[in-house]
Chains A and B, each alone.
Chain A
Amino acid sequence: MDYKIEDVELNNSLEKLSIPKISDLAFLPENLNSVDNVDKFIFTESVIELNKYFKAENLNIQILGGEPQLLRSRKNADIYLPSILIPSFLILENPNILSVILNVVSSYIYDNLKGKIGKKTAQVELFIEKKEKGKYSKIDYKGDTEGLKELEKIIKSL
Chain B
Amino acid sequence: MLSVLIFLPVAGALWVALLPPDRDETTRRVGVGTSLATLLAAVAVFYAFDVSSGAFQLLERREWLPSFGIAYSVGVDGISLLLVGLTVVIFPLALVASWRSITQRVKAFTVAVLGLETAVLGTLLSLDLILFYVFWEAVLIPMAFLIGLWGSENRRYAAIKFFLYTMSASVLMLIAIIALHVIAIGQLGVRTFDLDRLATLALPAGTQVVLFAAFALAFAVKVPVWPLHTWLPDAHTEAPTAGSVILAAILLKLGTYGFVRFGPMLFPQALVASAPVLAALAIIGILYGAAVSWAQTDLKRLIAFSSVSHLGFVMLGLAALNEQGLQGSLIQMINHGISTGALFLIVGLLYDRTHTRAIADYGGVAACMPRLAAVFTIVMLSSAALPGTNGFVGEFLILLGAYRTSPWWAALGAGGVILSAVYLLWAYQQVMQGPLRAKTPERLVELTRRELLVFVPLVALIFAIGLYPRPLLSVSEAAVAATLARLQRPAATAPGSLAPRAVTPEVPPR
A and B physically associate: no
Binding site for A on B (CB under 8 A): none
